[in-house]
Chains A and B, each alone.
Chain A
Amino acid sequence: MFENLSHLALQQYWWVIDSLLGSILVFLMFVQGGQTLIYRLGKSDEERTLLINALGRKWEFTFTTLVTFGGAMFASFPLFYSTSFGGAYWVWMAILFCFIIQAVAYEFRSKPSNVWGAKTFEVFLFINGLLGTILIGTAVGTFFNGAEFTVNELNQSRWANPYGGLEAVLNLHNVALGLTVFFLARLLGSLYFMNHIEHEAIFNRSKKQLLYCGIPFLVVFLFFAIRLLVMDGFAIDAETGTVSVEAYKYLHNFLAMPLVLILFLVGVVLVLFGLIKSYLAEKYTKGIWFTGGGTILVVFTLFLLAGFNHTAFYPSNADLQSSLTIQNASASHYTLTAMSYVSLMVPFVIAYIVWAWRAINNKKLDLEELRNEDHLY
């Protein structure tokens, strides 16, 4: 089946899968957003424990999705992996440190004799939520604004400056995407708490956050989106493979791919609908599904915008012709074919995740349940 597809079709298929994984990852960052709200929403130790335990039952999904996203990018676009990770060393290392400290924080926080104290592990969760989201968003911003690397004829890469990718934070557009992801994660975190926790005060405080985080979110998101539509982009000549700068490239991509544009707009509407309805209605708890679904659509379409319609998805500002495209950075036809068969398991994986979670999430988490629980975070 897959072996009969052209190499380009497989490359597109895998770009779609990676984009989907990336977009699901951003949705699941409600865990990170929630972690930055623990002290804002929880006013007592008991309330904070409730919040942390609500997040603690989901953190592994975000973590696993991040790891799978990394593995899938390695397997499908290994030149991106070797170029970006080997070059933007400090950006990726900083992101990884944020996630290393998260993984232990839940399990160790409330355990006796944890040496460093509960507060330390709560700080770990906060750092993960704050820096993890901003840095990942900023790093993805370089998909549109480019990075400083060169690739030689043997496809060995070298970073063109000594800053190891940290220079990305000097670009306002990259930072705007980082902040967008951060505020979005906080909004999703608030919606998750409203949906998942049975506690009136926490519900009302979460609702307030929809306004406090919603306004800065809209500001940075609009800045990012409007700038994206008017900025230059990196186009590939389909015949020669030559990369050149094209004015309004991403606007052109939207117009050339109307379905992507429609999905993007639907996504934006869903994000806003979930937020507004949750804020205005007295006891609305389903906002997470609308805003979360909208998030997946928006992020998914942004990835498609970066890689499709003859666009270099990882442009080089140091040497335009070193820019990475889904064609020159991908795995071989054989490897993409083999992995495509593996990808057929994804619906099955999603099905068992839904099945298992339905079984244990049949009611909202409350203090009563925590008092009877012997595996506490």
Chain B
Amino acid sequence: MIENFDMSLVDWSRAQFALTAMYHWIFVPLTLGLAFIIAIMETIYVKTGNPEWKKITKFWMTLFGINFAIGVATGIILEFEFGTNWSNYSWFVGDIFGAPLAVEGIMAFFMESTFIAVMFFGWNKVSKKFHLISTWLVAVGSNLSALWILVANGWMQNPVGMKFNPDTARNEMVNFWDVLFSPTAVNKFLHTISSAYTLAAIFVIGVSAWYLLKKLNVPFAKKSIVVAAVFGLITSLFTVMTGDNSAREIVRDQPMKFAAMEGLYDGSKGAGLVAFGIMSSTSENGNDNMKDFNFKLEIPNLLSYMAYMDGDAFVPGVNDVINGFTDNDGVVHPSVRTKIEMGRKAIHALKTYKKAQKDKDVNLAQTSLDELNENFKYFGYGYFDDPYNTVPPISITFYSFHIMVGLGMWFLLLFTLALLFVYKESIVSNKWFLRAAIWSIPLAYVASQSGWIVAEMGRQPWVIQDLMPTLTAVSNIDITSVQITFFLFLTIFTGLLIAEIKIMLKQIKLGPNHGGH
């Protein structure tokens, strides 16, 4: 059935969404984390009355403002792209997906935009406490914005709290709380925001390290490092914890994605963890998504332990998911071939049901409805012919995952060392560390983007796990239109990114004593 779809339209639509989402995610994590760091700094200022802390707060606030604006600019398009480029998707799941977006607007965006004005313009107009509350509300508001969109994304990875309505041909929400508190959504939110806080902490440490290297604003830089390192150490530990929880969710709900992340083709009991691996250009089974390993460093039993807290547990690989397997709880997972058959039955039953409704054939409508309900769980598989088309691109998922985890470990060490050197009062003399801290800024962005690549590439070919393949979600539009908008976005966003980086660098060079611009 794949041949019925215009795959190049699907690919261009995906490319455009990936481009706009990745650009947006350059700016968002810094906003989310810096908002809290600023709030902590201002709290110290209000508590101590020390004007030095006010200066520190205002400096980071200036950088926050620059970053916030471009985050807003790149964010608006994402909300509307669900309609412009993914129109079938926005109908099929709009009844569930739209609600978090609306709540986001009402609850979070207004809080953010109201109090950000007080935060920037209220220094001489409102009391210290009012200003401090406003700064905290900006942090809460921006993080609430992240909550709702991540709930929506979590739902796409693990659709819960809904029922398919054949009359409207869409999924409809039946339990808001199931959607909001789905473990996938909760883990996704916590892991994403804590990683964002970590990025912001690295940003503050990196910029401060540059001052220390240049012997500029030394007291300011040291104070900033202390706040950011404590904040970063806590949040990076939390990121590791939530990432671990998230992986355990994925192995149960999206075993194919988990196998891709770990580069596990054939599952086994007591599966080893590939700590490091290099994939070749040749592939297993002739499937381009499944590259062989040239080299891999494997730690025995660790993957089973991490996935199920049991070193002898069975972890399914890609081929197990394709051929079917029985998990550690004794639940039988049918083969993809069986799922394809069930999906086809569901699609056929839906068409028959619609026709029967039109012809007012009550009996046929009921039997086709029963068949639809029986097979709906694998509705989306009906669009595939070859089971191996349900395998995500493994090498990019594997590498992204390992880059993210490896860098995460480095960040933990970075925060620990920063605190240690500050405590020993030797941070200024450890020039290698200061340089490493500066270089960790781009690495934090690499880790952050890698996380999203794992999340989104790893779940391909699904836009809604098991229910809607990405190829059926696109709008029926002319491919040239998508190509033109792709390059327009690329040009505009790149132009704005260049401006933002230059402005940021200039503000950093001007330093905290500049007092604005």
| A interface, CB within 8 angstroms of B | 57, 60-61, 63-64, 66-68, 70-72, 74-76, 78-79, 81-87, 89-90, 92-93, 96-97, 99-104, 106-108, 110-116, 153-159, 162, 164, 331-332, 334-335, 338-339, 342-343, 345-346, 349, 352-353, 356-357, 359-360, 362, 372-376
Q: A60-B117, A85-B84 are in contact. List 10 more A-B contacts (CB 8 A).
A: A82-B94, A99-B73, A103-B69, A107-B70, A108-B503, A156-B87, A162-B478, A331-B172, A335-B99, A342-B106
CA distance A357 to B97 in the complex (A): 32
Q: Are A360 and B80 in contact (CB under 8 A)?
A: no
Q: Are B503 and A71 in contact (CB under 8 A)?
A: no
Q: Are A107 and B502 in contact (CB under 8 A)?
A: no
The residue that A74 contacts in the complex, of B76, B101, B106, B125, with Cβ under 8 A, is B101
Q: Are B113 and A61 in contact (CB under 8 A)?
A: yes
Q: Are A107 and B69 in contact (CB under 8 A)?
A: yes
Q: Find chain A residues with CB under 8 A from B492 CB.
A: 97, 100-101
CA distance A70 to B502 in the complex (A): 33
Q: Are B98 and A345 in contact (CB under 8 A)?
A: no
**Interface pairs A-B: 3 shortest CB-CB:** A86-B87, A85-B83, A78-B94
Which of chain B's residues has its CB closest to A154's CB?
A: B169
Q: Are A331 and B82 in contact (CB under 8 A)?
A: no
CA distance A72 to B101 in the complex (A): 8
B114 at the interface (CB under 8 A from A): yes
Q: Are B99 and A67 in contact (CB under 8 A)?
A: no
Q: Find chain B residues with CB under 8 A from A116 CB.
A: 495, 499
Q: Are A335 and B110 in contact (CB under 8 A)?
A: no
Which of chain A's residues has its CB closest to B488's CB?
A: A97
CB distance from B5 to the nearest CB of A (A): 13
CB distance from B83 to the nearest CB of A (A): 3
Q: Are A164 and B126 in contact (CB under 8 A)?
A: no
Proximity bits, B60-97, A CB within 8 Å = 1, else 0: 00100110111011101101101111111011001111
Q: Are A332 and B114 in contact (CB under 8 A)?
A: no
Q: Find chain A residues with CB under 8 A from B516 CB.
A: 373-376
Given A81-B83, A334-B174: A89 touches B503 (CB 8 Å cut-off): no
Given A72-B105, A376-B517: A359 touches B98 (CB 8 Å cut-off): no
Q: Are B476 and A360 in contact (CB under 8 A)?
A: no
Given A353-B110, A360-B126: A92 touches B84 (CB 8 Å cut-off): yes
Which of chain A's residues has its CB closest to B101's CB?
A: A71
Q: Are B90 and A86 in contact (CB under 8 A)?
A: yes
CA distance A335 to B171 in the complex (A): 11
CB distance from B322 to the nearest CB of A (A): 29
Classify chain B's interface size: 35 or more
Q: Are B66 and A107 in contact (CB under 8 A)?
A: yes
CA distance A353 to B141 in the complex (A): 13
CB distance from A79 to the nearest CB of B (A): 6
Which of chain A's residues has its CB closest to B66's CB?
A: A107
Q: Are B65 and A92 in contact (CB under 8 A)?
A: no
Q: Are A356 and B117 in contact (CB under 8 A)?
A: yes
Q: Find chain A residues with CB under 8 A from B173 CB.
A: 332, 334-335, 338
Given A82-B87, A360-B121: A90 touches B172 (CB 8 Å cut-off): no
CB distance from A78 to the nearest CB of B (A): 3
B263-289 residues with Cβ-Cβ distance < 8 A to A are none
Complex A-B: 24 CB contacts under 8 Å: A60-B72, A68-B106, A71-B79, A71-B102, A71-B105, A74-B102, A78-B94, A81-B83, A86-B475, A86-B476, A96-B77, A108-B500, A111-B506, A153-B169, A155-B91, A155-B169, A331-B172, A332-B168, A345-B107, A353-B110, A359-B125, A360-B117, A360-B121, A362-B125
B315 at the interface (CB under 8 A from A): no
Q: Are A90 and B481 in contact (CB under 8 A)?
A: yes
CA distance A97 to B110 in the complex (A): 22
Given A108-B69, A360-B126: A335 touches B96 (CB 8 Å cut-off): yes
Q: Find chain B residues with CB under 8 A from A61 CB.
A: 113
Which of chain A's residues has its CB closest to B174's CB?
A: A334
CB distance from B349 to the nearest CB of A (A): 13
Proximity bits, B112-127, A CB within 8 Å = 1, else 0: 1111111011101110
CB distance from A361 to the nearest CB of B (A): 9
Which of chain B's residues has its CB closest to A66's CB?
A: B76
Q: Find chain A residues with CB under 8 A from B502 CB.
A: 113-115
The residue that B104 contacts in the complex, of A71, A84, A89, A99, with Cβ under 8 A, is A71
B241 at the interface (CB under 8 A from A): no
Q: Are B169 and A67 in contact (CB under 8 A)?
A: no
Q: Find chain A residues with CB under 8 A from B499 CB.
A: 104, 108, 114-116
Which of chain A's residues has its CB closest to B476's CB?
A: A158
CB distance from A129 to the nearest CB of B (A): 16
CB distance from A307 to the nearest CB of B (A): 18
The residue that A92 contacts in the complex, of B83, B134, B165, with Cβ under 8 A, is B83
